[in-house]
Amino acid sequence: MNIEKAWTLEFTTPPSSRLAPRYVASLIIRQPRPKIANTSDNRMLPAFNSHIHRVAALLHVAKRHFSTIKVDNPPLNNYLTWNPLLRGTIQQLDAIAPRFELQKGEIEIVTHPAKFYELLKQKIQSAQSRIFLSSLYIGKSQNELVDLISGELERKPELKVDILLDCLRSTRDSPDPSTATLLVPLVKKFGKHRVNLRLYHTPHLHGFKDLLTPKRLNEIYGLQHMKIYGIDDEVILSGANLSQDYFTNRQDRYYLFKSKDLTNYYHRVQNAISSLSYQIAPSGRKEGFFLDWPSSNLSSQPHMNTERFISDCTRVLVPVLKSKYKDIEHEPFDEADGIIDAERQNMKDPVTIVYPISSFTPLLKPDQSTELQSILRVLSILDNKSSKFTITAGYFNVHQQIRNKLINSQATGQVITAAPEANSFYKSKGISYYLPDAYVYNCQLFVEALEKKSKVGCDIKHRVKMLEWQNGIVNTANGWSYHAKGLWINLPREEEPCMTVIGSSNYTKRSYGLDLETNALIITKDEDLKKDMKGEIDNLLKYTNEVELKDFTEGKRKVSYGVKMATNIITTML
């Protein structure tokens, strides 16, 4: 038998579309009709065709697994006007995440929790079409905030509210008062078509894990940790949740973005996760609600088939991570998101660039999250002497790759973290009592690494400082807790930062392995914004003191051997 060119493989690149992402390659398998003589060799055809179909099936699976979506950023019009050090960074970030271009005055920085709460209430009162809120939880006593939203819904029939929270945190006190019981009256009063209340449940807690893990510990398997607060065409990104301490005496960060396109993007992020989450519906049960899985969701419930759920999540979320244009084939439809203004997104001379970067690792296979790789690219700037950095996280357990970048940098820097007395778990009940000491131990390991590096002829110990933030003692009169997280970069010989990361991530192993995080990476040449960013750092530094290695080996910073051993075991969950 002689079959010539029976099968051909061809790689093509389909034309780009404003409404759909572009695939790097698509695999087409063609089968020309072979001319076969009428011989006894025909008996071999069934087996031959069977093998061909198996090969085709394997290639199809391989294509689905390895295909990646190309980020659709157009060339930056004023690329040559940016600092040469930033140009390479911009080029590489353009290949990782969608880019949004902003003009002067389109970012506002808030530094005090009370001002954040007032800003949030003011924006809700002015809302006309949409309010969308993503948080770990809303405090179960936040009646003022819920009443405010209810009042606006009553006065404005066109107003819609989308809320996305974590299921484990929002229901763990049920049937006693909880976040869920606080919010379900909104759904009961205005209906699910106007109040879309969603609870994300990690797919990695089910079966025996769910049965055997206590409610206060089940969060070790993963959480919805994003903080997005959008109203109409503006969005606030923060690390703060929506509860009383975050509005009064818990230090965090808050950025208001006055950009419709960027706001639409973060609404897409929330909608995508919501389409893979439970919806709260009122019921006559003791707790007053039940968790519904709407037929409109884009996958089956996570516990039914975890592998299939993660596959569906990957199909839905990767286009959101990579493209500023909505993928109408895979994403949930929401006409409020509108269509990106292509002319505005190709500004002649933008002064600020924003890259939304997120980590959805527990929902993606293969993992195509954009946050960690973007931050590592930005930290490469620290290879330049006389550059500067500031990094902060309330819970210090930075990812190993970030830690290595900081320790091996040529820059001058400062690392700010919470003192034990400013840690929200300070003197708490149960096993969480030991968490502040666990984070102190992680700080000790970081300082020891600086000392070790210095012994081989490097001056890193004198260039990088570890600072503890403390303003009183948490849970006492006038005592504050510390929850800020962020990164700022100064270019060589510049006193003010030109880059920052704002959002929910603590840059920890947990952030990049278990939780859902979203952030914004900002690059700017707006002098006023750079001054505000420096003012933000100065505000944090007011309450800091430097700690050295001797502080961890004697006195109140000395950690017990048991805590050290436990920290090493559970480090990925901290």
Catalytic residue among 232, 233, 245, 367: 232
What token pair was written down for 420? Answer: 């034990």
**Cα–Cα distance, 398 to 404 (Å, whole number):** 10
Contact yes or no for 36/6 (Cβ under 8 A): no
Which amino acid, 441? Y
Contact yes or no for 296/275 (Cβ under 8 A): yes
What token pair was written down for 447? Answer: 């300082």
- Strands in 485-490's sheet, in edge-to-edge order, are 100-102, 352-359, 517-524, 499-503, 485-490, 388-393, 412-418, 464-469, 544-547
Phi, psi of 524 (to 5 degrees): -140, 150
Residue 227 is a catalytic residue: yes
What token pair was written down for 293? Answer: 């899985």
Contact yes or no for 268/328 (Cβ under 8 A): no
Contact yes or no for 515/554 (Cβ under 8 A): no
DSSP, res 361? G
3-class secondary structure, 392:
strand
Catalytic residue among 123, 160, 201, 225: 225
Length reported for the chain: 574
Residue 225 is a catalytic residue: yes
**Cα–Cα distance, 294 to 223 (Å, whole number):** 21
Catalytic residue among 123, 160, 201, 227: 227
Angle between helices 400-407 and 435-454 (to 10 degrees): 40
3-class secondary structure, 28:
strand
Phi, psi of 392 (to 5 degrees): -140, 145
DSSP 322-338: H-SS--TTTSPP-GGG-
Residue 452 is a catalytic residue: no
Question: What SS3 string covers 424-449?
Answer: CCCCCCHHHHHHHHHHHHHHHHHHHH
**Cα–Cα distance, 260 to 502 (Å, whole number):** 18
* Residues identified as active-site: 225, 227, 232
